[in-house]
Amino acid sequence: MPRARIALFVLEALPNARAMRRFVADYAREIAFVGLSNAERPAAGGLVGQVRQHLARSGPAILPYLAINFGLPDLMRSLSPLTQALARTRDLSETTPLAALCARHGVPALSVDDVNGPEVADALRSHAPDLIVTYHFDQILKPETIAAARLGGINAHPGLLPRHRGPVPTIHALAEGPDNFGMTLHRLAPRIDAGAILAQESFRLTPGITATRASVHLHQHGLLMLQSLLDRIAQADAIPEGRIAETLPYCGFPDAAMLRAMRARGGKLTDIRDLADALALNTLG
């Protein structure tokens, strides 16, 4: 049975960048198109509006985390032709931003302001993918968007669902201790991170690891899990039924009190090593 043709939706950032660049390079023939989320889209409040929201909810302690995970990778993408030339890494998939990598492999790519809007609907109709894959994507797909792919969709979540539903599961796992990290692949569903669980692995990560580095580690391991799941889907020409779990409370971005308590226990959102990784995202293979 041939592999499913994939519509891949991604918010390219430090946690998933290298894993998804490797995936696009390895699966280019199976990828119908790539949707790259615009993190600064007006519907989400734009850059200034989002920073204000984060400051009001989490306080200034969240800003280094946001800068290293999202701000610096975004800046370094615009500088990638220069940094790759200086580092002589232009030919390496892992150092090439996704838009440029898609162009190199002839994979259509579009910037996504609204995953449920007409532009994405047109792309789904014209490219007719069998399967939707979301991997560190920050927009919620409606039922009709998921149904536009013949087989439906799957999502990668760097947490042990049904716990830690939401955008920053490694922060919540870090707040609870070293035995609470994991990676889950699940069916896409309109309710956030609530679809049937298809594959899951738990990890006891290195003591002292930051929430940022944990997310990078989990997304990289998730690529291996995704490859295995895609093999299963190809053999059955269907997504496995999966395991239905009780839907637990949603865990959004942390409030300031949670971050203070985490710091008091020695937990860190990010550190200088993460900063170096963000700066080197387009130069080191």
Tell me the mean pLDDT in the region 191-219: 94
pLDDT digits over 166-185, tens only? 999 999 999 987 788 999 99
β 153-157/181-187 pair status: antiparallel
**pLDDT band at residue 100 using 50, 70 and 90 as cut-offs:** very high
State the Cα–Cα distance between residues 213 and 275, nearest whole angstrom. Answer: 10
Handedness of CA 229, 232, 237, 242 (dihedral sign): negative
Share of residues in the chain with pLDDT > 70 (%): 99
Least confident of 8-17, 83-92, 136-145, 203-212: 83-92
Residue 284, both tokens: 């080191």
Q: What angle do CA 138, 140, 141 make, to 5 degrees?
A: 130
pTM of the predicted model, to two decimals? 0.95
Name 10's bridge partners: 36, 135
- Which residue type sits at 266? G
Residue 1 pLDDT level (bands cut at 50, 70, 90)? low
Enumerate domains of the chain plus CATH numbers.
Answer: 6-279 (3.40.50.170)
SS3 assignment, position 137: coil
Q: Give residue 285's pLDDT.
A: 58
Give counts: helices (H), strands (E), the chain: 12, 7
Residue 66 is predicted with a pLDDT of 96
Please, which pLDDT band fits residue 40 given cuts at 50, 70 and 90?
A: confident
CB atoms within 10 A of CB 270: 22
